Structure 1
Amino acid sequence: MIAVVNGDGSAGLSNSVLLLDEPTTVIDTMLLPEMAADIVSALGRRGRAAELVVNTHIHTDHIGGNILFEGVPIIAHPRTADGMRRMIGEPGLPALLAKVMPRFATRLADWDSTAAEPVPPAGIESALPGAARVLEFTDSHSAADLAVWLPAERVLATGDLCFAGVTPLAVHGRVGRWRTALDQLIALRPRVVLPGHGRPAGIEALHELADYFDRVLASARLADAERLSAEAVWARFDPGPAAGWLEPERTLVNIQVALAEISGKPFQGEHRV
């Protein structure tokens, strides 16, 4: 397993993972084709070419390079694949992407991708090389997220279920369910964690993210109990080990999502333009 790390992991800069056993597999393809070209180069240096692409979830910064793998099977969780078919080509999508990822605004005006084919997690697992296992989580970071676990090597590719050194974003999921997902990942006791954003790390990255979400949930519970706004509790939020993480403004969004969960309001579980 090889991690292709894309910059510092801030907005628009996601990582990919390569499995070099048969079939040679690419897990996630970054935001833009020119970013995904690094994936092709990394495989080429090893005398390989992609034979399978797996998208861990729907977000554009993990699927934008799909178009570079024409003729290669591209598969994803059925909820992810269905959302991709509805999302790709939406007229308002480029403007939304430019707002979320302004540093790439000029390249997002004509953003496009290739939708994955829907395959249940068990089918994805059977398509992967060797003893790789697929772990499924719904309504955590997004509508559906997959992680890939290599038990012999104790290496875990998390997709966006883990951010390392970068503040996560739960706008399309549920903070509580994401926090529970982290407990399941921690229970694997991985030696190496390959996050969707940020540098490869050890199990401490999962523990630190779990601590961060505990603090977000505590802030949301305080806001609910004392009828405070999310902004009010965010103003006095103690990030603990997350101090210094990139994109700290995302904490307000995460508190808002957690507060909506606690108060029983609707949440945005699918990617919407």
Structure 2
Amino acid sequence: MINYSVKAKMALWRRLWILLLALCGMAQAAPLVLEPVQVSKHVWFFQGSAGMASQANKGFMSNAGFVVTGDGVVVFDALATPALGEAMVNAIRKVSKQPIRRVILSHYHADHFYGLQPLKAQGAEVWAHEKGRATLESDDTKRRFEQRVTDLAPWVGRDTRLVPADRWLALPRGGEERFTMGGLHFRVLDASGAHSPEDIMLYVEEDRLLFAGDLFATGRIPFVGNADSARWLLTLEQMLATKPAIVIPGHGASSRAPERDMMFTREYLQYLRKTMGEAVANMASFDDAYAATDWSRFKDYPAFEQANRINAYGTYLRMEQESLATE
């Protein structure tokens, strides 16, 4: 057995620390590569891994996409880190040399907008719902940023800028804004107050394709929190009313059978409302209600461990609010 002197041990630790810093620097410098999947004539998307943001997936656990028109590219969402935003730009450039003109942001949650910086650097104009302004400036957003700096370094750092919209859309409840670009027709659809205060979706008419954001997830538990799940269920019907041939969810695989694939999200929201609503009506505590609920239908899906208890508690509070409103 080798006996190192204190000085030798310190030198060894110093070399290891330098090596660690070098490796971190390499990780930070190494560009991420994304491979877009073409899902229709004009649309490609990036599919993140299942589960929550982590070092293992480098924050790549949400979806984003882009539409190539005859006069520029329209992007929907920007992923969860500046490095991923840069990788999006590089991937788009391999598909089209058209300028990236516009980014439509579904909502201001960290995994959907931290990649805006590189897209803005390309000259893109960012559109978001006007209610996103309050979300962006909120204490929750500031706390989430601190958590991401700690948990997703070096992919999120102090130089990560939380980018505001260039245009805040004043959409009426359930309303829409239409625009055309390069011969394609787009509809920006309000779904605010469902998953977040500022949800919007994007419909590409020529491709019959809907970007749904986090209002729809395939193959995983959605994050609900204290969202208005009653409004969310109505929004699922709003999605189907556009008669999409393809839906790109905020998480999970694209869907070519939207009505069938939305069934899981619908059933999950309905089950949360039923079980937590009964608990509130029976004046049961949340802990007792959660322990007594049969979660077997959902427990094997990705993100269940991380999100389900939070979703159930948020829905419990929501059902309390709804019960008080009807009294």
TM range (shorter): 0.7 to 0.9
Aligned to 1:52: 102
Q: Write the distance in 1 (CA, Å) between the matches of 2:296 and 2:246.
A: 23
2:249 aligns to what SS in structure 1?
strand
| One-letter amino acid of the structure 1 residue matched with residue 241 of structure 2 | A
Structure 1 residues 88 and 229: alpha-carbon distance in aligned structure 2, compared to 1, 3 A threshold: closer
2:85 is matched with which residue: 32, 36, 43?
Answer: 36
Aligned to 1:15: 63
Aligned to 1:255: 312
Farther off after superposition, 89-98 or 45-54: 89-98
**Is residue 2:277 matched to residue 1:221?**
yes
Q: Is the 8 A contact 1:174 1:257 kept in 2?
A: no
How far 1:217 sits from its partner (Å)? 0.6
Q: Is the 8 A contact 2:216 2:262 kept in 1?
A: yes
How far 1:209 sits from its partner (Å)? 0.5
Q: Write the distance in 2 (CA, Å) between the matches of 1:145 and 1:260.
A: 21
How far 1:131 sits from its partner (Å)? 2.0
**Aligned length in residues:** 262
Q: Is the 8 A contact 1:140 1:174 kept in 2?
A: yes
**1:61-100 residue CA offsets vs partner (Å, 9 max, x unmatched):** 111111102222111111113432x25997644334468x
Q: Rg: which structure is higher?
A: 2
1:193 aligns to what SS in structure 2?
strand
Q: Write the distance in 2 (CA, Å) between the matches of 1:88 and 1:262.
A: 24
Q: Is the 8 A contact 1:10 1:197 kept in 2?
A: no
How far 1:246 sits from its partner (Å)? 0.9
Higher relative contact order (CA 8 A, sep 6+): 1
TM normalised by structure 2 equals 0.71
Q: Write the distance in 2 (CA, Å) between the matches of 1:234 and 1:261.
A: 15
1:126 is matched with which residue: 179, 192, 198?
Answer: 179
Q: Write the distance in 2 (CA, Å) between the matches of 1:236 and 1:134.
A: 42
Q: Is the 8 A contact 2:75 2:102 kept in 1?
A: yes
Cα RMSD (Å)? 2.8
Gaps of 5+ in 2: 1-42, 54-58, 323-327
Identity over aligned pairs, percent: 20
2:111 is matched with which residue: 61, 68, 80?
Answer: 61
TM normalised by structure 1 equals 0.84
Aligned to 1:166: 220
Q: Is the 8 A contact 1:175 1:254 kept in 2?
A: no
Structure 1 residues 236 and 88: alpha-carbon distance in aligned structure 2, compared to 1, 3 A threshold: closer
| One-letter amino acid of the structure 1 residue matched with residue 46 of structure 2 | V
**Is residue 2:5 matched to residue 1:5?**
no
